Amino acid sequence: MNNLPWAQQADSRGDVRWRTFAIGLAALLATCLVVVGLAWKREHDRASTQERVALAHGLALHAADLRDAAPGTARILGLAAVKIHSDPQTRAGLIDTLVADRGEELTPDASGEVALSGDGRIALTDSGDGVGDEVSVWDLTTWLDPKIVEKPDRVTALKGNRKGVETMALSFDGRTALTGDGATIVWDLTNLARPIRMATLAGEGNGGGRALALSRDGRTAVIGNSAGDMAVWNLTDRSRPARLSVTRAHASSVRDLGLSADGGVAVTADNDGTVTVWDLADPSRPVKSADLARSAATTAISADGRVVLVGNARRVETWNLDDRSSPARTAVFEVPLGDMHDMVLTADGKTALLAGPSDSGSLWDLSDPSKPTRLAALKGYGREIGSVVLGADGGIVLAAGPGGVSVWDLRNLAEVVADPERAACRGHTNAQLSKADWARYTGGADWSDYAVEGMDVLVVCSMNPDLS
């Protein structure tokens, strides 16, 4: 029995209640402080992340501006951007910068068309105005060797198209060339220094050759002309070509033409944008298989004849021709180039190069036909790109236009895309950014957040990747 007076018992119960209240209040205050602290930390981290993202994107933009004028600085700034915050934008910017560093001018002379052998060793360029009668022949062997500083001029020139050269084609082995306008000339390039004019293929109908294509072995030629006709020739004996057929392919001029490696499938595009697939299993009787599009600017076909690209200024469509009578469209992707001047596929159909106005060449990965993925852009090429061509495996690129022709060595592109940071640091592990340049390009961002204490230079390849 509790013998304490009633008043003392009441005071005791009051003390317990007060202590309980005080403890509860303290716990509530502590919880509030924790919540506020966590909220502050989240907000601080969010603001810090936003600052890093803004800083990284700003550096990436500076890198893009400097690609042509100062490629070394562009590489350092692009790498710093990825180190600070790696996202699709900064990675794509660094990849484009690294790709730009792999291109060099072949000739400043304008060229409207280019052609390339399968191994990327032999190239053809024309005068670019459709009037000049010369096609330059280049041996790119030394151009693709970075150890050779002095690059040779063209080997020789092909002359004979009196009305000017509008189009041309080169066989996979680089030994047979076609140059065309009103008539198409067949050339033997076995000896590059002394090309031999083998024969002339007369223009078909009332229009000269506007588009040319050769099979891989150089024995089948397909010519599209301004009257809409498609002619198939047998060049097994290049000194005595045999015309196998002439087919009315379109109601308007044939502006583009592609041929599979075996010469069994052709794709033509006319001035009205119609793209048509042709079965040339019997080259003496071409059979129209299907129409793919009605508003195309250009088209391309893979060597195996299974993949076709159809493109215009707004989008590109990929088609599968396993069933030529019923082609299947596998994907559509947006390519805001402003215009579509040319496109080309690698032999396996897994890489595409699209070309448009100035600074608008782009490479795409088509390994998954339903999900095309952008690989890189030919940034830094500040001229209009009118014509592009790829080596068989996509390792060598020629890009041509009114401002000249450039050759790109992209044989390690897969490594660059997979790990642009490693590619940027290869051979440049001591690449540095001074404190003054940091302030210049970052707008005064806190140097101490990224540099080693006491250092006046930032070794970009050693930046802490955990910052991103």
Q: What is the DSSP string of 379-435?
A: TT--S---EEEE-TTS-EEEEEETTEEEEEE-TTHHHHHH-HHHHHHTT-TT-EEEH
Bigger pLDDT: 236 or 32?
Answer: 236
Would you state the pLDDT for residue 279? 95
Would you state the pLDDT for residue 6? 52
Given a cut of 60, is residue 241 above it in pLDDT? yes
How many C-beta atoms lie closer than 10 Å to residue 161's C-beta? 25
Q: pLDDT (tens digit, 9 = 90+) per residue, 338-397?
A: 677 888 998 888 999 988 776 568 899 999 988 999 898 876 555 678 888 998 888 899
pTM: 0.81
Band (289; pLDDT cuts 50, 70, 90): very high
Tokens 């502050």, located at residue? 40
Would you state the pLDDT for residue 79? 94
Query: Please, what is the average pLDDT of the chain?
Result: 84
Would you state the pLDDT for residue 205? 44
Given a cut of 70, is residue 299 above it in pLDDT? yes
The whole-number average pLDDT for the span 74-86 is: 93
What b/e string do you get for 5-44 counting C-beta neighbours within 10 Å, with b at 16 or more? Answer: eeeeeeeeeeeeeeeeeeeeeeeeeeeeeeeeeeeeeeee
Percent of the chain scoring above 90 in pLDDT = 46
Full set of structural domains in the chain with CATH:
7-96+421-467 (no CATH), 105-409 (2.130.10.10)
Bigger pLDDT: 114 or 10?
Answer: 114
The least confident of 31-35, 124-128, 308-312, 326-330 is: 31-35
